[in-house]
Amino acid sequence: MKKVLFFVAAICLVSSAAFAGPFDKFNDKMNSASDSLAKHYLNNLASDMSAVMTGGNYGVSIGLGTLRFSASAKINAVNVDNEIMRADGTSTLVVPMINAALGLPYDFELLAKYGYLYGTNIYGAGLRYNVYDSDVIFIPSVTVQGVYTMANVRSGSNKLDANNLALGAIATFPVPYVTPYVGLGWDRTKVKDKSSIHEGMTGSADGFSYGFGVSVSILMINGNAGVTYTDGVPNYTLGLNVGF
């Protein structure tokens, strides 16, 4: 039993080391930068946080089930290249996320999401509207959506706030059992310094994204995989969806 506990503890320690916080060098980089350079850092950070915070937004709006509710567990692999995360040796972020949808009257769905990023909670909510519902394989069903997402980063003494507004449209093709989808969107992300000598400074980024993927449905279980390009950089999503 002691050996098992030791092994589990070792795995936890290795995992903690492997997933060191990507914001651990935030204060160091910002404190050593001029105002103009600090602004540049924040703008680039906002651009990468855009991909983090919109991760999992695209996907298939499957049948919500009897209770008109569905939930998805997703893993997003996000490529990043901003100076603050590079200083910590971070090039890829792995972000687990839960997305949920609740059917409302008049073809609306209420959306909610929760993600976890190295000690940081990511919350989001929004609405989706079913513009057109198709039963023909070569004619897509079309939905539009808007999602607002927030993250409050607290990594030791390194602190920043981020928010994102994402608007998008998704077309799904009703192929039996295997449903392809494509999506197109625009979003705006803002980050605010809360801890360095530039406290209060904000950075922002506007971006367009597009993505495509496929879902495979067996009874009430729906697996999905997709790729989203944000400013040309690919981010990958794997998920499992259940409707009730």
The pLDDT value given to residue 53: 92
Render each residue's pLDDT in the chain as its tens digit; 244 residues: 443 333 333 333 333 334 458 999 999 999 999 999 999 999 999 999 999 999 878 876 555 666 788 888 999 999 999 999 999 899 999 999 999 999 999 999 999 999 999 889 999 999 999 999 888 888 999 999 999 999 999 999 999 999 999 999 999 998 888 889 999 999 999 999 999 999 999 999 998 999 999 988 776 667 889 999 987 788 899 988 877 7
The pLDDT value given to residue 46: 97
The pLDDT value given to residue 60: 66
3-state SS, residue 180: strand
Distances (CA, A) of 110 to 169, 207, 213: 15, 24, 22
- From start to end of the chain, where are the E strands? 69-79, 92-104, 108-117, 120-132, 141-155, 158-172, 178-193, 202-218, 221-230, 233-243
The pLDDT value given to residue 61: 55
CA dihedral 185, 46, 226, 240 (to 10 degrees): -110
CA gap 61, 171 in Å, rounded: 10
CA gap 48, 22 in Å, rounded: 12
CA dihedral 193, 237, 131, 210 (to 10 degrees): 70
The pLDDT value given to residue 208: 92
The pLDDT value given to residue 56: 79
The pLDDT value given to residue 4: 33
Chain CA centroid to CA 113, Å: 9
The pLDDT value given to residue 119: 84
